Amino acid sequence: AVQLGYGSIKEKHLTKPVKGQFDKAGVAPVKYLRELRLAEATDYTVGQTLAADIFAEGELVDVVGTGKGKGFAGTIKRHNFSRGPETHGSKSHREPGSIGPMISGGGGKVFKGKKLPGQMGGGRVTVQRLSVVKVDTERNLLLIKGGIPGAKGSLVMVRNTVKPVK
C-alpha cells in the first residue's frame, strides 16, 4: 500500500501517533493522508511528489469524494415516494403510508431495509468513467468532463477507472 498526503499543517495540530508516523518516514506533516492499495507500490519512493501529468488527455478516470449532505429528509425527497391526496378530508399529505404488514394478526413488524425518512446524502460517492479533457502541467490541474461529487472546494480522489471498456 502507498500513503498519499496533501496540504501542509502545523505540527501542533497533530496527535503524537500521527506525528511519529511522519517523523519515522522523514517527511513534512500533511493535513490529508490517504492509503491506496497498488500493485506497483515499489515504483514509488518516500517523499515523492505526484503531479497531474500522471494522467493523459482522453483517459477515463473515476472520481471519489464525499457527496453533499441534505440533512434529515422525508420519504418524498429521499426515496421519490408519491404524496397523498391534499384535500377531501385527507390528513396524510407527505407521509409514507403503511410501513409494515400485520404478521399472522400479531402486530406490526417493519422489515429491515424499509425505505423511511432519515439522513440523506453526505456519504462516499464514486462517479465512474469520466474523461480527462485537459492536463495543465504548469498549474498542476486536471480538467474532467462530468459531474464531480461533493461541494465546491471539497477534496476528491482521481484514479484510473475500474471499468475501462464499455
Which of these CATH numbers, 1.10.443.10, 2.40.30.10, 3.40.50.300, 3.40.640.10, describes 51-68+122-166? 2.40.30.10
Q: Which residue bears the cell 399472522?
A: 104
Per-residue pLDDT, averaged over 17-36, amounts to 94
pLDDT-derived band of residue 106, with 50, 70 and 90 as boundaries?
A: low
Q: Is the Cβ–Cβ distance between 127 and 149 less than 8 Å?
A: yes
Q: Where are the domains of the chain?
A: 1-47, 51-68+122-166, 73-118
Lowest mean pLDDT among 7-11, 55-59, 74-78, 109-113: 109-113
Residue 108 has pLDDT above 80, yes or no: no
pLDDT at 161 over 80: yes
Cell numbers 402486530 correspond to what residue? 107
CA dist., res. 71 & res. 118, Å (int): 8
**So what's the pLDDT on residue 38?**
85
Alpha carbon distance 117, 78 (integer Å) = 7
pLDDT in tens, 32-67: 999 988 888 888 899 999 999 999 999 999 999 999
Please, which pLDDT band fits residue 71 given cuts at 50, 70 and 90?
very high
Q: How many CB atoms lie within 10 A of CB 114?
A: 9
Does the pLDDT value for residue 105 go beyond 80?
no
Burial of 102 (0-12, 13-18, 19+ CB in 10 A): exposed
Mean pLDDT value across the chain:
92
Contact of 76 with 93, CB cutoff 8 Å: no
Residue-level pLDDT at 164: 85
The predicted model gives 107-136 an average pLDDT of 93
